[in-house]
Amino acid sequence: MAAAVPDAGSPAKPKVVRNPKPTPGPPGTISGTVRFSGDTPKPMNINFGGAEECKPLMDDPLVRDVEVHDGGLSDVFVYVIEGLRPGVTYPVPQETLVINNLGCRFTPTVFGLRAGQKLEMVNSDPVLHTFSSRATQNIFNYSVMGAGKKFETVFKSAEAMALLLCEVHPWMNSYVGVMEHPFFDTTDSQGHFSFGGLEPGSYLIEAWHRALPAKQVEVVVSAGADAKAEFQFSQTELPAPNTRRRLTSRKGHLGWLDSTGDTP
């Protein structure tokens, strides 16, 4: 996400140091729910643009920007943006995360990992896919042909959010939150999130969704306690339907798709 640029002649807003010293007591947790009110957008039809090889692999050839179940918004990346003590580092997990090309979709579509952590990219489809990074800090482009093919990569620098897409089938995309710390989560189908291990103190956390403006809330974590944080998004915050468009063609000829499935 692009950072705000201050007006000419105005001093930049200093970054808040919320917890400069350790606070005694066992670590706590932040958990909560991201909710959505109002009508969800109409799913967008995929214009295959000649990519007929994907049709038999897809049971549901629609793109849904917003998925809500019982009021909970899924695929929201929630993470700490302020409050961690300066100079503290966190070990990078040895676990290798996996992203899969399956049924001409990326799985998962929104996820987080640590800078320096291994990411295995797998193609489970019998067709050509690419893993192309449209990021600021972590740029790569890998082609993977054939089911079962895989390779590993590492996002070396923290970045939120990095876009992955398939240049052959541009409706395929995934968003990656690359973090220097372990305090993040992606909401489940009911909009729930949780991350623990936080020192007692005050934190600013952000909820990021691919189709909605990011939101922030302040949370105070007490020793050994579960601090609750709630986010509320609404239909009124969505862009107009005729601006919700996606890449839909292939081989460098980029078309766009709106909610009716028509390409202007």
- Output the furthest CA–CA distance in the chain (Å, rounded): 61
179 neighbors 112 (Cβ within 8 angstroms): yes
pLDDT at res. 243: 53
| 9-67 per-position pLDDT tens digit | 444 444 556 776 767 789 999 999 999 999 998 888 888 888 889 999 998 888 888 99
pLDDT at res. 25: 84
pLDDT lower than 70: segments of the chain:
1-17, 20, 22, 241-264
pLDDT at res. 30: 98
207 SS3 class: strand
- Percent of the chain having pLDDT more than 90? 58
d(CA 258, CA 246) in angstroms, rounded, equals 7
pLDDT at res. 185: 98
227 neighbors 219 (Cβ within 8 angstroms): yes
Out of 3.40.50.300, 2.30.40.10, 3.40.1190.20, 2.60.40.420, the CATH code matching 28-180+213-256 is 2.60.40.420
Domain ranges of the chain: 28-180+213-256
pLDDT at res. 151: 86
* HEC sequence for 41-84: CCCEECCCCCCHHHHHHCCCCEECCCCEECCEECCCEEEEEECC
The answer for residues whose C-beta is within 8 angstroms of residue 132's C-beta and 6 or more apart is 140, 141, 142, 164, 165, 166, 167
75: tokens are: 């695929």
d(CA 27, CA 176) in angstroms, rounded, equals 26
pTM to 2 decimal places: 0.84
